[in-house]
Structure 1
Amino acid sequence: MKVTETSLKGCYVIEPLFFKDNRGCFLLEYNKKEFQEKTGFDGDFVLGNQSTSQYGVVRGLHLQRGEFAQAKLVRVVKGKILDVAVDARKGSETFGKVFSVELSADNNKQLFVPRGFLHGFSVLEDDTIVSYKCDNYYEPAAEDGVLFDDKDLNIDWQIPVDKVTLSEKDTKLKAFNGF
């Protein structure tokens, strides 16, 4: 696997091994030993989630606080997304900085989002399936987040604003400067 650290310390783009021939294809999605050697992440993924969404859906920006913080390894099974990470670790040299990358079933890239980061994605194709592993269990009381269209973060979600679909919960999130 090829591992490239992004402009946000501890956040990595992962390009797994992919083999294709006349029979079909094979993707080595995750190898714990190699992943730990290349990223320094020594946790265990304990939760797996999958969502299916239509074009224009924006999910995020979310995180879990305190002892329920989560690192995530995100991949697309079908379709395409713009995956976004924001460093929300107070005192970090990249605090408030944004990184985004297109993840798709075609490019097989994954994004490793460490604990303390806000995470979200916009769906760029209908019927997109996103799968991600988390290193901690979900706790509703620890959930927090920032508005997707926060002016300070100025994220280009690659979706026209009039085409964005949000959950009711995501419309009530706060601004980053009050986070």
Structure 2
Amino acid sequence: RLTEAQREQYKKEGHCFVCRSKEHLANVHKKKGNTKKPFAKVRKAKDDEDLESEEEEFDSDKEEEMFKQLTLDERVEQFGELEGDLVNEQSLFIPVTIGWQDIETKALIDSRCIGKIMSNKFAQKHKFPTHRLPKSIIARTADGTIMKGGLITHCVYAKIKIKGKAKFHRFVLANVEDNVILGYDWL
């Protein structure tokens, strides 16, 4: 078992946590306990110049400005084979299938959102079973103000399928306009 200092050093130097190799990362080992080298290797960056320095802070305004300068076709190309109406000036949507009834909708990708959110109206319309949260959550917007819905008190457990891959997630219920919002923990 690695100490915290060793973990940080491995991350910094790019070592695999399973076999300690610098050629790949731990997520390429398919089975738990498999210490053999994997078949595929992770590509390394050509130069250190390709990587941002650790001291440099993330500038979301700069990234947003760069995104706005792209044409709609460039945005679609950059974010995969998406339909043209899924990308606009401010937002990125992906087609998803949700729930055991396989309800098709578009999910908003929001890197500033902390979790996964489902609209109260969407959950009621499709009769998802709701569960009370052990502790209420105060919903806040990106600027820190409290959302109009107030407290988040319930959640839904549902399967979400994206490009054929299904996973079970907990969605908190909030008064939002979009049916489903996938935050940075999903990314």
Q: Is TM-score (shorter-chain normalized) higher than 0.5?
A: no
Shorter-chain TM-score tier = under 0.3
Higher helix share: 2
Task: Give me the TM-score of the superposition, normalised by structure 2.
Answer: 0.21
Higher strand share: 1
Q: Which is bigger in relative contact order (C-alpha 8 A, separation at least 6)? A: 1
**Bigger radius of gyration, 1 or 2?**
2
Task: Give me the TM-score of the superposition, normalised by structure 1.
Answer: 0.22
